[in-house]
Every structure is written in C-alpha cells, then in structure tokens.
Amino acid sequence: MTNQIALIHATREAILPVETAFKDLWPEAEYWTLLDESLTMDLAAAGGKLTPALTERFLNLAAYAKARRPDGILFTCSAFGAIIDQIAAQYDVPVMKPNEAILDAALARGGRVGLLATHPQTLPDMTADMENLAAARNIDMTVVPLLVEGAWADLGAGRRDAHDRAVVAAAPRLNDCGCIVLAQFSMAPLAAEIGADTGLPVLTSPHAAVAEMKRRVLGV
C-alpha cells in the first residue's frame, strides 16, 4: 500500500521545496497539501504571539489532516513549533516539525553553525532549540544566528527575486562558521548558490525532513 503524507503549510513558498524533496528521496510516497496563508499573516498581526484563536485554528487544521488517516503529518512552517509539539503528543502517527531533522544534522557537525533565517519568529525559536539540544546531548556547538531583515516581507509581497538577493547577499556574513543552516523551507532553493558563494556546506530542511519522515513511517 502506498504511504500517504499530509503536508501542512502556512506559506505557499514552502510547497515546491518539499515536493522536490519527495521527488528526490521518496517518489513512491503520495502526499497532499493543506495551505492556510492567513495563519502567517495573522501571526504577524499578533506580533508573533500564538494567541488562543491562532492555536485553535492550527489544531483544527491538523485535525482535518488526521481525519484523512495519513501515515504521517509534516508541517512546513517553522513559526508554530510549540503547537506542533502538542499535536505530536496527541496523534498516533509520526508528526514532524519542519526543523526537527535539520537540527540533528547541524548537531552532528558541531562547532560554529551559522543559522540564516528570514522570519523574525523562526530565528529565536530555532536558535533556542539548537542550543538546548546541544546542551542536552553535551555537544560543543555555537549557534551564530542571522536574520535577513526585510526578506520575509518581500516574499509575502510576491517579490521573490528581492528576497533571494537579500538572502544570498547576507550569507557571506557567516563565513567564519563551519556550515550554514537555512532555517526555512522557503530558503532551500538558494542552497546551491549560497554554497558556491561561501564555500561552506549548506544544510536545508526539506530534504532532511522528508528523509526522516520516510525513516519513521517505514521503520528503516
């Protein structure tokens, strides 16, 4: 039987990167998409705070996905991590945050890890996650966070080219790191260019997430 994975997005810019990862790593899986861009817009309007109303809407979206009985649920928006933990504790299928797998990849490298993000809420959340995991696993790692100011607004306004130019231009500021982690799915298409410009390994979330979801679902 073909495995089915539910993909839940709060921005359409995450769709193509994760679909590319499925085609590369797990082409035999079936996946389907739920998209609610108003979640991201309303989160910004709330000053980045997860209000009870936003939490309820996110939980309802997950419940809708679960009703279709998928073999796994992958969220692609990194700004809702706390709610995803709550969902994962309640469901009996693998439920993954977008950055779970990439965190493990970064921890495996250790040392100075550059963390490049465009969403202002993603950067502190993911920095804390990386630092807490490193401490829990007794791994010597220094996270160097860098927010690309204005890039998320450009993306939301349909100015993808401006977003991409800003991200690529910012990346060399992390040249003193051993690798660069692109914090969001929407940044993944820039990995090759950033790697060429900086000469550093560039880690992206979509491929790491799909590989880990495949491992959890298939047990391999």
Residues 101-148 pLDDT 10s: 999 999 999 999 999 999 888 899 899 999 999 999 999 999 999 999
For CA atoms 91, 88, 105, 167, give the dihedral sign: positive
In the chain, residues under CATH classification 3.40.50.1860 are 4-98+207-218, 100-204
Specify the pLDDT at position 42: 87
pLDDT in tens, 138-164: 999 999 999 999 999 999 889 999 999
Q: 94 pLDDT band (50/70/90 cuts)?
A: very high
pLDDT in tens, 2-33: 999 999 998 888 899 999 999 999 999 999 99
Q: Are strands 72-75 and 95-96 parallel, antiparallel or unpaired?
A: parallel
Q: What is the mean pLDDT of residues 187-195?
A: 96
Tokens of 1: 């039987």
Residue 68 makes CB contacts below 8 A (sequence gap 6+) with 4, 6, 32
The CATH number fitting domain 4-98+207-218, selected from 3.40.50.1860, 3.90.226.10, 3.30.450.20, 3.60.70.12: 3.40.50.1860
The mean pLDDT value of the chain amounts to 93
CB atoms near residue 145 (< 10 Å): 20
Q: What is the pTM of this model?
A: 0.85
- What does 69-119 look like in DSSP terms, one character per residue? --SEEEE--GGGHHHHHHHHHH-SS-EE-TTHHHHHHHHHH-EEEEEEESS
Specify the pLDDT at position 85: 87
Percent of the chain with pLDDT over 70: 100
Percent of the chain with pLDDT over 90: 73
Architecture of domain 100-204: 3-Layer(aba) Sandwich (3.40)
**pLDDT higher than 80, residue 80:** no
Q: What is the mean pLDDT of residues 33-48?
A: 87
Tokens of 89: 């504790």
Report the distance separating Cα 86 and Cα 58, nearest Å. Answer: 11
**pLDDT higher than 90, residue 47:** no
Report the distance separating Cα 36 and Cα 58, nearest Å. Answer: 9
The 8-class DSSP code of residue 48 comes to T
Specify the pLDDT at position 103: 93
